[in-house]
Structure 1
Amino acid sequence: MTDVDGPRLATSEEFPEMMELLDRYFAYERGGMRANLPFAYDPEHSDHHAIIVEDGRIVSHIAAIPQTLSTGIEGETVECWGIGGVATDRRYRGNGYMSQLLEFWLDRMDDRDVPLSDLSGNRQRYAHFGYENAGSEYQHILTERSFDGEPSASTAVVGYDSAEHLETLHRIHEAEPHRVVRDLAGSRTVFGQRDLETFVYGGESRANDPAYVSLSRTSRSRTIEEFGGSEAGLETLLSHLLAILDLNELTARVPPWHPLEPVFARHSRFWTARPHRKFRICDLPTLLEAFAGQLEARWLESGRTERGSIELGIEDESDGSTESVRIAYGPDSVSVEPGTERPDVELERRAMTSLLFGMPDRTADLRTGDPFLETVLPLRFFVWASEHV
């Protein structure tokens, strides 16, 4: 008889065996996943990892990494658990272990009122669990030939040195309105990833306009996964990288509304807009309360003077109950209030993600039919690729 233990949290003693499973299917080298994603695979946080053990062997794993997203308003954040490391030993596939582990995490999020979960991966694979494309990013493709001007190396660009540059780069990142919130130690971990290489524009003569780009290390087609700082610094960094690296192309993942986006557009061969992440709305009232400041700021910035309210609701597929929240708005304020369970707009979970976060845009008609929704949506967020779980 098969002896199955789990789903359950991994123990610290099981962490090395768990990492062997993940390295076998993702990194193809011992220590690879931990070195490549140190913020996700921290042996001090085995409680972020759920496993199934069969016949004394760890055969399946899913991680849920708690992260805090800044919504763009000072002091306003939203908790989001990132799902990653979805792996089952090929000899044990077909037993439904992935579904069991994911349900394990969704139940824990529900118990803790976590409003949001995100992941990458196949849309169809995770749609059953309520995940849908959310947000947008531009992917700019730069080449030496597309660069506006002659790329040239610069003595003002140096490789990242933690002792010299960490605090400056951390300050730049923390000034980004949409990001994963991290402390100085978190920035040290992110910039220390094995597969991330960071270049810094700086020096004493340029202390007032520093900038940086962090890009993938591997292959001749590399990707800028995080950047920040001054426009002059970014221009110099791009010119420098295209001059010194033997690249087929350089891709940059950029928030569409970022003030430095025009710099990439100026030098791009072409760019595309694509969904940014996949979200699952786990707790609608908590989510909208967390975004209340962004909702109000965008409404007031528009100068619209209508007054009214709209109630949004998600129908629970399991029991048919409704989770709802009412948003009241006027010329001077916006408030998020408890719902009455009689929503004006009631959608299933994935469609609500489309409405609030904008991609795919199958719900555009709902936004254009209401003055508040067409003004404040889609909600803005961004998880830099350097911190994708």
Structure 2
Amino acid sequence: MTGADGPRLATPAEFPEMMALLDRYFAYENGGMRARLPFVYDPERSDRHAVVVEDGRIVSHIAAIPQTLSTGTEGETVECWGIGGVATDRRYRGNGHMSRLLEFWLDRMTERNVALSDLGGNRQRYAHFGYENAGIEYRYSLTERSFDGEPIASDAATVAVDTGGSDEHLEALHRIHEAELYRVVRDPAGSRTVFGQRGLETIVYDDGDEPAYVCLTRESRSPTVEEFGGSEAGLEALLSHLLAVLDLNELTARVPPRHPLEPVFARHSSFWTARPHRKVRICDLPTLLEAFAGQLEARWLESGRTEHGSIELGIEDESDERDERAESVRIAYGPDSVTVEPGTERPDVELERTAMTSLLFGMPDRTADLRTGDPFLETALPLRFFVWASEHV
């Protein structure tokens, strides 16, 4: 083997070879990864893909996809880079390519003051790099017996999006999605891309007054609703329609906590669980908390608490050179306002990176004692966010 070239960004000319590597390990079909995750594998955005080249071929790859998350306060967003497509040719494993590629992207996030990064995958594998379980999602299981009487097919339910051109439903679906409090912010073109991915079926209920939609996959043993929105009556009709028309033994739904349509799933579910939502890494603590300042203030003021105080949070110094600078932020609170400012003193609460994720995002809840010891942390945390499964990188 010759010396490795990289980590470095892929070139446009290398995109087909890169996709062949990913298809071999993830899709098992030519063009599968690009068809199933078109918002990730865009040939016009080779700069979102880092590779290592050995012996004249691409042998390792990691993608970093910038996404903008809505935090639930109007106009308030946070930048989050999704990590995906982690693959190394089996003949070149054990050489540290994955670690160097991930460090390559973490360095770039630091340079650009990116607040968050998220990924799926094994918790133990990525904990070394500062990723930890964060947030909660509910999984609801629905069956024919979950409904009163037999599920009913609906004449108002139709297949939604023709991704080849204009579509009468796309504008309505985009408008419904953009009204969600917690989501990935996307433009109409982004909605078309998401709804058009291979393996994702989008069904619309459109009776004129109470539209709704669901996006589901049927490629596993348990067909799963991965995105939904709209009216309560429309969603209920769609769930009944799917069970009736698709002749399903079971339908699983991935549901954000506190979603206004969550009661529909709870009403018709025979079983449910709560699970960690994503694994996230806090890349820049001050930028993160400044982005969530509106959510923190809104939740504190809604509580009606009258205490005055402040608390400074910090991430412990780490041994790697990338994180030598101090990361701390002070939150001051009173009956009428909350302010988020750069830290100036030794933090009141200084935690290792993954423990800070647990404190701020609440799962696993190994820092509950810290929250209950401070009125603000107890009231305003955990931070709320959600990335629909249809947009997982």
Query: Under a length normalisation based on structure 2, what TM-score does the superposition of the two structures give?
Result: 0.97
Instruction: Give the distance between the partners of 2:82 and 2:371, measured in 1 at CA.
Output: 28
Instruction: Give the distance between the partners of 1:195 and 1:302, measured in 2 at CA.
Output: 43
- Paired position in structure 1 for 2:79: 79
Deviation at 1:275, TM superposition (A): 0.2
Contact 1:3–1:54 (8 Å) recurs in 2: yes
In the alignment, structure 1 residue 107 sits paired with structure 2 residue 107:
yes
Instruction: Give the distance between the partners of 1:249 and 1:308, measured in 2 at CA.
Output: 50
After superposition, what is the alpha-carbon deviation per residue over 1:102-146, rounded to whole angstroms, capped at 9, x for unaligned?
000000000110010000000000000000000000000111122
Instruction: Give the distance between the partners of 1:75 and 1:321, measured in 2 at CA.
Output: 29
After superposition, what is the alpha-carbon deviation per residue over 1:310-356, rounded to whole angstroms, capped at 9, x for unaligned?
00000121267531000000011000011014110000000000000
Aligned residue type for 1:195: G
Instruction: Give the distance between the partners of 1:41 and 1:386, measured in 2 at CA.
Output: 14
After superposition, what is the alpha-carbon deviation per residue over 1:22-56, rounded to whole angstroms, capped at 9, x for unaligned?
00000000000000000000000000000000011
Instruction: Give the distance between the partners of 1:274 and 1:226, measured in 2 at CA.
Output: 17
In the alignment, structure 1 residue 364 sits paired with structure 2 residue 365:
no
1:170-319 → structure 2 map (5 Å cutoff): 170-202=174-206, 206-318=207-319
After superposition, what is the alpha-carbon deviation per residue over 1:156-178, rounded to whole angstroms, capped at 9, x for unaligned?
11111341100000000000010
Deviates more, 1:181-190 or 1:307-316: 307-316
- The RMSD of aligned alpha carbons is 1.0
Give the 3-state SS of the residue equivalent to 2:34 in structure 1. helix
Aligned residue type for 1:318: S
- Paired position in structure 2 for 1:158: 158
Deviates more, 1:241-250 or 1:70-79: 241-250
Instruction: Give the distance between the partners of 1:102 and 1:381, measured in 2 at CA.
Output: 24
Aligned residue type for 1:269: S
Aligned residue type for 1:22: L
- Paired position in structure 1 for 2:54: 54
After superposition, what is the alpha-carbon deviation per residue over 1:196-252, rounded to whole angstroms, capped at 9, x for unaligned?
0010000xxx32310000001324521100000000000000000000113231110
Judged with a 3 Å threshold, the aligned counterparts in structure 2 of structure 1 residues 220 and 132 are, in CA distance, closer, same or farther, namely closer
Contact 1:323–1:341 (8 Å) recurs in 2: no
Instruction: Give the distance between the partners of 1:267 and 1:380, measured in 2 at CA.
Output: 25
Deviates more, 1:325-334 or 1:338-347: 338-347
Deviation at 1:66, TM superposition (A): 0.2
**Given the alignment, which residue of 375, 378, 383 partners 1:374?**
378
**Given the alignment, which residue of 348, 353, 357 partners 1:353?**
357
| Structure 1 consecutive aligned stretches of length 4 or more whose deviation exceeds 4 Å | none
Give the 3-state SS of the residue equivalent to 2:168 in structure 1. helix
Aligned residue type for 2:318: E
After superposition, what is the alpha-carbon deviation per residue over 1:48-86, rounded to whole angstroms, capped at 9, x for unaligned?
000000011000000000000000000000000000000
Percent identical residues: 84
Contact 1:220–1:247 (8 Å) recurs in 2: no
**Which sections of structure 2, spanning at least 5 residues, go unmatched?**
none
- Paired position in structure 2 for 1:2: 2
1:86-105 → structure 2 map (5 Å cutoff): 86-105=86-105
Deviates more, 1:246-255 or 1:302-311: 246-255
Instruction: Give the distance between the partners of 1:297 and 1:375, measured in 2 at CA.
Output: 11
Instruction: Give the distance between the partners of 1:176 and 1:50, measured in 2 at CA.
Output: 32
Instruction: Give the distance between the partners of 1:313 and 1:221, measured in 2 at CA.
Output: 42
1:128-143 → structure 2 map (5 Å cutoff): 128-143=128-143
Instruction: Give the distance between the partners of 2:277 and 2:61, measured in 1 at CA.
Output: 24
In the alignment, structure 1 residue 325 sits paired with structure 2 residue 333:
no
Query: Under a length normalisation based on structure 1, what TM-score does the superposition of the two structures give?
Result: 0.98
Judged with a 3 Å threshold, the aligned counterparts in structure 2 of structure 1 residues 137 and 43 are, in CA distance, closer, same or farther, namely same
Aligned residue type for 1:25: Y
Give the 3-state SS of the residue equivalent to 1:221 in structure 2. coil
Contact 1:220–1:248 (8 Å) recurs in 2: no
Deviation at 1:149, TM superposition (A): 3.4
Aligned residue type for 1:259: P
Aligned residue type for 2:199: D
Instruction: Give the distance between the partners of 2:116 and 2:378, measured in 1 at CA.
Output: 22
Instruction: Give the distance between the partners of 2:391 and 2:380, measured in 1 at CA.
Output: 27
Aligned residue type for 1:174: E
